[in-house]
């Protein structure tokens, strides 16, 4: 398996523009997580899905952020409109729902810069 | 609310030394704990996962221990090498297949 795939790897955009980040989880994994990493706050959960259904979105900063998972192999995180404080590395992770370990596998991340 | 702390924030050691990284968590009722490695500009690589019923896990030169009752875990690296230089993150899972709560990491530099 190729692992968790994220695109784009880097995104530079101007304040006010819409940004869409994409994630393809590992095939067969039932859980998908979106995290954000900043120097100040470290890694924080934004939202997670189980079987394509959002379970907890309490970490989503505000209404400018939205996430979807239309099928088991694809998820998007959208920011509209983007602001400079959204600059961070966004990680997607997936995990299986079997075995009892629930080990999470992370993608390479998308480094977002909003100017 | 679960909080995870890692001390020290940064550590520099000469090659060949054995070293210990520390992780503490405020709520001892965890499901499991995971140690990750993150290289600059890269994603996270899982190193070891310890279930709450276990006391330690080993992989090569790495050994992770868990003392759930005291809310602590350590990652022991034997005979450190320059290639071990990275940020090491500790994360806990409170129950079942739920999100991880991360510490801010320890940035390790191993000097040749």
Closest CB to A48: pick one of B31, B34, B99: B99
Q: Is the dihedral of CA A39, A83, B2, A106 positive or negative?
A: negative
Cβ distance of B43 and A106 shorter than 8 Å: yes
pLDDT tens digits, one per residue of B37-94? 999 888 899 999 999 999 999 999 999 999 999 999 999 999 999 999 999 999 999 8
Residue A44 at interface with chain B, using a CB cutoff of 8 Å: yes
Sign of CA dihedral B29, B35, B41, B42: negative
Are the beta carbons of B93 and A42 separated by less than 8 Å?
A: no
Put simply, the answer to whether A42 touches B34 (Cβ < 8 Å) is: no
pLDDT tens-digit series, residues A6-55: 999 999 999 999 999 999 999 999 999 999 999 899 999 999 999 999 99
Q: What number of C-beta contacts closer than 8 Å exist between A and B?
A: 53
């Amino acid at each position: 398996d190729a692992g968790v795939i994220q695109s784009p790897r880097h995104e530079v955009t101007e304040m006010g523009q819409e940004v869409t980040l994409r994630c393809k989880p590992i095939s067969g994994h039932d859980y998908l997580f979106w995290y954000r990493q900043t120097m100040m706050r470290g890694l924080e959960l934004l939202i997670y899905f189980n079987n394509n259904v959002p379970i907890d979105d309490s970490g989503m900063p505000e209404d400018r952020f939205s996430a979807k998972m239309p099928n088991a192999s694809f998820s998007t995180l959208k920011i509209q409109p983007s602001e400079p404080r959204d600059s961070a590395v966004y990680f997607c992770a997936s995990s299986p729902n079997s075995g009892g370990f629930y080990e999470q596998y992370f993608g390479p991340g998308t480094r977002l810069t909003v100017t | 609310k679960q909080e995870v702390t890692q001390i020290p924030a940064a550590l520099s050691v000469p090659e060949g030394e054995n070293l210990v990284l520390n992780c503490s968590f405020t709520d001892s009722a965890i499901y499991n704990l995971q140690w990750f490695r993150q290289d600059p500009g890269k994603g996270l690589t899982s190193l070891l996962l310890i279930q709450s019923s276990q006391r330690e896990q080993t992989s090569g030169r790495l050994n992770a221990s868990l003392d759930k009752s005291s809310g602590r875990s350590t990652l022991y690296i034997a005979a450190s090498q320059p290639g071990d230089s990275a940020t090491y993150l500790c994360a806990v899972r409170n129950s079942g297949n739920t999100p991880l709560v991360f510490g801010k990491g320890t940035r390790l530099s191993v000097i040749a």
